[in-house]
Amino acid sequence: MSRIRVLRDAAAVAKEAAEFIALYVKSKPDARVLVATGNTPVPTYEALAQLNPDMSDTWAVQLDEYLIPDDDPRLLYAWMARAYLTPLGVTQVLRFDLSSQDTQRMCRLHADKISALGGIDLAILGLGPNGHLGFNEPPSGADAPTRAVTLSQASLASNAAYWSAAPHGSRAAPRNAVTVGMDIILKADTILLLVTGQHKRDILARTLSETPNPELPSSYLRDTNLVVITDQDVTGGAA
């Protein structure tokens, strides 16, 4: 089942998404939340912090991470801490353990820990420019596991924007990463997909209309309990 809410701008998306998350957590105070970074969800996390929900019993599960040294400022975990954990007072965290040299083992451990927690209740996702979810790059089927990946050119280009401005200077986007697999994402109880900006319009339209296929990983979301909140009207009429 999927529901789509089309709102007038990114601020309205952030407000409604924050209210959705706050309500979800109120009804399930120990929710296991899969947390996306990237630019899209940041205003939502800011709006959520304004609502001051009690998130102290929730779990934050890291969606993806670059394979870079643990003190590199580009770590997605550092972004997640700044944008989500600290402002929302979330202290129960499952993160990729970068101290492991064996990436296969690192990924297996992350997936095992998620499964030991009981899986994901609420997945908060952005939409990649190529339909990736986390770093499940095309092609990724519905059963793609948690694993190490090489970023596609499209993802490198969009990620480069994160690190080209101050205070990071002109650092390139890392090429190698790990991601929670499609198999875990698609089993989440509820998936909240946030999509803002004209540049995401076509990929959102394809996500909602194409028969699920590995060349467009986001197309598999249509078979999940999906809530899309967007400022792009791809339905032919605003809600």
Report the residue number, 58 or 158, with the smaller CB distance to ligand PGA.
158
Contact by Cβ (8 Å): 122, 34:
yes
Whose structure tokens read 């944008």?
83
Which of these ranges, 25-33, 82-90, 126-134, 216-224, lies near ligand PGA under the rule CB under 6 A?
126-134
Q: Which x/- pattern, by CB under 6 A, does the window 149-168 give for ligand PGA?
A: ---------x----------
Select the residue interacting with ligand PGA from 43, 53, 126, 131 (CB under 6 A).
126
3-state SS assignment for residue 173: coil
**Of all helices (H) and strands (E), which one includes residue 203?**
helix 201-209
Mutual angle of helices 10-27 and 42-51, in 10-degree steps: 50
Q: Which x/- pattern, by CB under 6 A, does the window 32-71 give for ligand PGA?
A: ------xxx-------------------------------
Which of these ranges, 14-22, 104-112, 120-128, 142-150, lies near ligand PGA under the rule CB under 6 A?
120-128
Q: Which of residues 184-223 bind ligand PGA (CB under 6 A)?
A: none
Report the residue number, 28 or 79, with the smaller CB distance to ligand PGA.
79
Closest listed residue to residue 208, CA positions, set 133, 238, 144, 216: 216
Which of these ranges, 44-52, 75-83, 124-132, 207-215, lies near ligand PGA under the rule CB under 6 A?
124-132
Q: b/e map of 180-212 (b: 16 or more CB within 10 Å)?
A: bbbebbbebebbbbbbbeeebeebbeebbeeeb
Residue type, 184: I
Q: Is residue 181 involved in binding ligand PGA (CB under 6 A)?
A: no
Parallel, antiparallel, or unpaired for β 190-195 and 92-94?
unpaired
User: The tokens of 138 are what?
Assistant: 């095309």
Comparing every residue's Cβ against ligand PGA, the nearest one is 38
Residues forming contacts to ligand PGA in the complex (CB under 6 A) are 38-40, 126-128, 132, 158
